[in-house]
Structures are given as structure tokens and as C-alpha cells.
Amino acid sequence: MKTYPINASVNLIDNEDGTWTVDNKGDKIPAERVLDDNFDEGLCDKIRETMEKNKPKKDGWSDGGYKAMKESAQDASYENVGDQRKVKRKPGRRIKNSVAEMMEGGKIRAGNKIWNKNHTALIPNATDFFTVTTMRRMKDINPDDPDTGFERDEVVHKKIGDTPRRLAVRLPCNQPDLNFVTYYGKYSSATTDCRGDGEIAETKDGEIIDCLGEDCPSFEKGDCKKHGVLSVILEDAGRFGVVYKFRTTSRNSIDNLESSIDALTMASEGYPANIPLWLTLTPKETTIPKGPMKGKRKTIFMVNLEYRHGGYGELDEYVQKRAMIRAGKDPVAGMERALEANLALPEKIEDVIDIHDTFFPEQEA
């Protein structure tokens, strides 16, 4: 038998009879079962690469004494692997090509709804504190309630207070674009009219068109906006396996979150998931660039992510300790696949309605 190291804790054993075994710290599992389960995509890729590199020669024998199974064995329970060797394939433990969607446990807001001056409609109102909600709409609780938003999560707010300016969170994934999704979006009341990445866009009819970004007439008119969707694990919710989402159309918050996540990814050597962070709401003085209030000073609140236990030195020490513990494991790979599948799905109609009501409210009469 031959042994091939895959990472610090996993070895691949060639049994020299056409089968392989994965040895994970003494726990030996048939390689076919590991590949069928696909519990760690990166590890499975390395296993496949090693098997392909060391497969039998085409004459049926390798230098190590491999013997290809007889070509006459045409059993339906076997499938070709490579050019010669046949490996018995058993059903896996998960339906193939099924979509594992990451469940949304609630929403994080930096605003609420207030009545307009004529008391005829509820309009978005920015706040200097966060609000955490459940996934239940106010109208589901009381059909006569004019508020189309979601109920405040009183269980969480008992822990974080009524007006928190920071929340204890962790990123669920190592890939920055799964933690924080950004796009140009145009919405009507219950429809995503257009969504793009600055190069290409997809319309509500499924047509693929050029995305002009900020040069688009719809963006200049305010019908299209930049959107950011941050997914986090909220520690005070006391739930694992769900994410809480913060949506924003604030240019400052989008820039801050993109920059902080990129910095965390670099500082953590590509592993920002599960680092203890603060999601913060910080005031900033700015000048209104256009409109009837142009030139006047205004206080806005920007959202950012910060390491919870100090500065760069403390973060680097934490990253190095965690790298030793991790020792080649990647515990968030499954969560990344679930979030990536979630992003590939069409937007839920309740999310579209919520986005429209929050960021594209009807104008006052």
C-alpha cells in the first residue's frame, strides 16, 4: 500500500486493488464514500487530484502493482474512473444537485418607519441605533397594521438593549462576496425590474443587457440604487445555522463594509469566518450634495465591521493561534455552499416588497 498526504491531518491510502481509503487521524473511511458525501469541497478536490495523478497505467498495471479489473465485468453498479480502473459506486447520503439554502433568521435595521407629515403613509426614517427583527411581518400579526415591515425581536433586544450602536457578530464565510453582496438594483412594488454588477444586468424578463452603473439614466434619476446585503451570525440571537441580514443603499456604509471585509480577509490570511467582530453604527458630519437642502451640514450614521478585541496586533495574534488549531480543516465550507446556493435563487417576493418599501418609498402627495 502507498500513502499520500492530503493535509496536516488527512492521508490518502492506495490499497493497490483498485480502491482507496481516507485516513483522518486514524479514522479510516472508503474514499468513494468521502467523495460521494462531498462534505468538504476543497478536501475532495485534493483527493480526486491525487487519485487521478496516481491512477493505473493504461496497460492495466502500474509500477506499484495495480491490476485493472477485468473489462468483461460490466456490472451496473460499477462506473469508469479514468481510463481503466472501475470503482464500485454506492448511493451517497445527499440528493445530488439539491439546493441547500441558508436560512435567514432575521433582519438588522438602522432605521424604522414613521408617519409622514400628512399622516397618510409610513415612510423610512434613519436611526442612530440598530433594530433586530424576526421574520414575521407586522401584517401577519395584525392584518389592519399599516406597517409592512417586520416585528422587532424582543428576545434579542432584552440582551442588546433598546438602542444598540454595536452588535456582536461573526462572518459566516471566508469568501468576501458571500458575506457581503453588492449590486445595482431597480425595484417596483413587488418586482426586481433590473439587477446588475456594473458590467451586465438582468431585467425582470430575463434579458441580459449592459449595466452602465452610475452612468445609467435610471441611476441618475434615483430609480436604480447601489445595494449592499451583509450576512452575519448574530451572537446575541443564540442561534447557529441561520444568518441575519443587513441591507443598505448608503454609499458610505457599502464602501466601509467592502473595505473592512477585504482588510479582514487579508489580515486573517483568507479565513475571516468566525472572527469575533463588532457591527458598528458611527456618526459622521457631511454636506448634502444636491436637492433643496444642498450645501447644508447633516449628521449621518455609517455601518462598519471592527475586530472586537483590539487592534491589528491583537487580531494577528488571534489569527495565528486559530491557524494552529485549524490545521488544514475548513469548517465553514458547507455554510459557504449554502449561502452561494441562496444567492443563486430568485429573490423572494417578500424581500422584493421589503426592499421597495424601505429604499424606494412612494413620494408624498
Do 222 and 328 share a structural domain? yes
Do 77 and 141 share a structural domain? no
Last residue of a domain, one of 88, 115, 138: 88
Do 280 and 150 share a structural domain? yes
In this model, does residue 244 exceed pLDDT 70?
yes
Q: Which residue has the higher pLDDT, 354 or 150?
A: 150
In this model, does residue 236 exceed pLDDT 90?
yes
In this model, does residue 65 exceed pLDDT 70?
no
CA distance 184 to 158: 36
Residue 164 lies in a domain: yes
Do 174 and 230 share a structural domain? yes
Do 230 and 349 share a structural domain? yes
Both ends of the chain: CA-CA distance in Å? 80
Can you give the residue range of the structural domain that contains 26? Answer: 2-88
CA distance 18 to 44: 18
Q: 6-10, long-range: CB within 8 Å, 24+ apart, which pairs? A: 6/43, 6/46, 6/47, 6/50, 7/43, 7/46, 7/327, 7/328, 8/327, 8/328, 9/327, 9/328, 9/329, 10/43, 10/328
Q: Tell me the three cell numbers of residue 354.
A: 421589503
Do 250 and 169 share a structural domain? yes
Residue 296 confidence class, pLDDT cut points 50, 70, 90: confident
Residue 162 lies in a domain: yes
Do 84 and 197 share a structural domain? no
Residue 29 lies in a domain: yes
Residue 58 lies in a domain: yes
Q: Tell me the three cell numbers of residue 104.
A: 435567514
Do 330 and 196 share a structural domain? yes
In this model, does residue 325 exceed pLDDT 50?
yes
Residue 139 confidence class, pLDDT cut points 50, 70, 90: confident
Residue 102 lies in a domain: no
In this model, does residue 336 exceed pLDDT 70?
no
Residue 83 lies in a domain: yes
Model-wide pTM > 0.75: no
Length of the chain in terms of residues written: 365
Tens of pLDDT along 103-114? 899 999 998 888
Residue 365 lies in a domain: no
Residue 220 burial (10 A CB sphere; 0-12, 13-18, 19+): exposed
Are the CB atoms for 32 and 90 separated by under 8 Å? yes
Residue 295 lies in a domain: yes
How many Cα atoms are found within 13 Å in the side-chain-facing hemisphere of 276? 11
Q: How many domains does the chain have?
A: 2
At how many degrees (to 10) do helices 41-53 and 333-344 cross?
110
Do 167 and 77 share a structural domain? no
pLDDT at 33: 75
